[in-house]
Chain A
């Protein structure tokens, strides 16, 4: 099936400026939901699908809305991987990689190390009285935890963080900048070497990690497949927990009444997590390609059409979430779309829930006394494919 790089006949065409989307995509999404819930956006090169019900519908039809998007920059960066495969190939890789990320494994195998990692990072900054909770804490924590779950004992948190940034830059390298490609190639080669070494070690001695689980999978997985899938997990596995941490922490620091309630009743951290992921979803959209002609949101799309499921928009759909633009941990529980749906449901969901809502937030808010935002700090919220804070400058009593 060849890809159609243009608007489907009958699809409304809406011009959106990518710089404006990066700055704040939500007003544009609200407009699309009202007037053109499926629209071809030339600057994105895809049809954007923006209403909650339509997105859920598409997610439940993976045989129509295929993950095998041709010409994807992710494929160029990391090679074939489970994110861009359909079942049964996707299922084979997912079954091999998933067991270490399941909730009981997270609790029994990884939680202790996650907690030590968080304390070590806080020990380093606690005496300073000021810092950037993204650069000094959330990013190195997410990277260190990811290295543990993946089984990359031969990589530092800084390595994982640098690799992730280099690959993420390449995934969005629509400008075809050669230096960006070069840095991504250096990162992916370094990951291949690190994975090959740890796969060999895990073959001799299983350690419960993702690499080990893939090495010992019932349905065999090649080394190249292990390497490519570890690359894709490193690509997303740092920024997503980092961003949900940052956005949620800032939201609470702006609402002392909510913060006080949550600190007094730690059971509420779960609500903070799910509401943060809904309100500003770390992943805003992901691409699909139609395997057959299919009508959705009133538009008949031909086979080969490219569609972006804009989950950030679905999560602000007023027909599902009242006052959807507000951060409100007390809203009625409705399933949000931040983890995606169907067979590609986020593999890291249980890891992220634990490391952020059971450990990172409670430890930061209890150890750093008098925590507050630095007034006038240039902490920007940025991105639309991925969205989060570039920094979070705070002070506390040292």
Chain B
């Protein structure tokens, strides 16, 4: 199973085993990673599971889908080219070793 690294705003890293077939948000929430709020439980309605994909890993994750793209304009922390909603990123073996950064604010 792929391992994903969540880096918190203070620089601490949390290494989490993610289940293939779920989404990144799920891996963060079920492992109690601070800073992923996910109010709507993964339906791309709330914009509170915002992440920045590490620049070295952008191509492995790909661009946001249409619904997500809209929601990313309304996140609490600034949108960057690497912004994604973690509830819309499917976990697969190809993401093993992925590093994502958690923004300062979700609400």
Residues of A within 8 A of B46 (CB): 339, 345, 349
Q: A102-B71, A103-B70, A103-B73 are contacts. A335–B45 as well, Cβ < 8 Å?
A: no
Asked if A79 CB lies within 8 Å of chain B CBs, one says no
Shortest distance between the CB of A98 and any CB in chain B (Å): 7
**In the assembly, what is the distance between CA of A342 and CA of B106, in Å?**
16
Residue A34, interface by CB 8 Å? no
B55 at the interface (CB under 8 A from A): no
Residues of B within 8 Å of A98, CB to CB, are 45
A345 to B38, CA, bound (A): 10
- Find the A residue at minimum CB distance from B43: A343
How far apart sit A294 and B71, CA to CA, in the bound complex (Å)? 35
Contacts of A347 in B (CB 8 A): 45
- A345 and B107 contacting across the interface, CB-CB below 8 Å: no
Q: Whole-angstrom distance between the alpha carbons of A339 and B106 in the complex?
A: 15
| Given A342-B41, A345-B41; A334-B74 close (CB under 8 Å) | no
Instruction: Report the bound CA distance from A242 to B74 in whole Å.
Output: 23
Say if the beta carbon of B105 comes within 8 Å of chain A: yes
A333-B76, A333-B107, A335-B48 known; A102 vs B67 contact (CB < 8 Å): yes
For A62, the chain B residues whose CB sits under 8 A away are 41
Asked if A350 CB lies within 8 Å of chain B CBs, one says yes
CB pair B71–A335 under 8 Å, yes or no, is no
Judge if B40 is at the interface, Cβ distance under 8 Å: yes
Interface assignment of B3: CB less than 8 Å from any CB of chain A: no
- On chain B, which size bracket covers the interface? 10 to 19
> Does A243 lie at the interface of the complex (its beta carbon under 8 Å from any beta carbon of B)?
no
CB under 8 Å from chain B, chain A span 42-96: 59-60, 62, 94
Separation in Å of the B22 CB from the closest CB of chain A? 14
Of residues 50 through 107 on chain B, the ones whose CB sits less than 8 Å from some CB of chain A are 67, 70-71, 73-74, 76, 105-107
Q: Are A350 and B74 in contact (CB under 8 A)?
A: yes
A contact residues, total (Cβ < 8 Å): 21
A 340-361 contacts with B by CB, 8 A: 341-343, 345, 347, 349-350
Do A335 and B39 touch across chains, with their CB atoms under 8 A apart? Answer: yes
**Minimum C-beta distance from A328 to chain B (A):** 15
Q: What B residues does A367 contact at CB under 8 A?
A: none
> Known interface pairs A335-B48, A335-B106. Does A341 touch B41 (Cβ–Cβ under 8 Å)?
yes
Determine the chain A residues whose CB is within 8 A of the CB of B74 once the complex forms. 103, 350
Q: How far is the CB of B46 from chain A (nearest CB, A)?
A: 5
- Which residues of B, 1-58, contact A by the 8 Å Cβ criterion? 29, 37, 39-41, 43, 45-48
Task: State the B residues within 8 Å of A (CB).
Answer: 29, 37, 39-41, 43, 45-48, 67, 70-71, 73-74, 76, 105-107
User: 8 closest Cβ contacts across the A-B interface?
Assistant: A345-B40, A342-B41, A104-B70, A103-B74, A335-B107, A335-B37, A341-B39, A333-B107
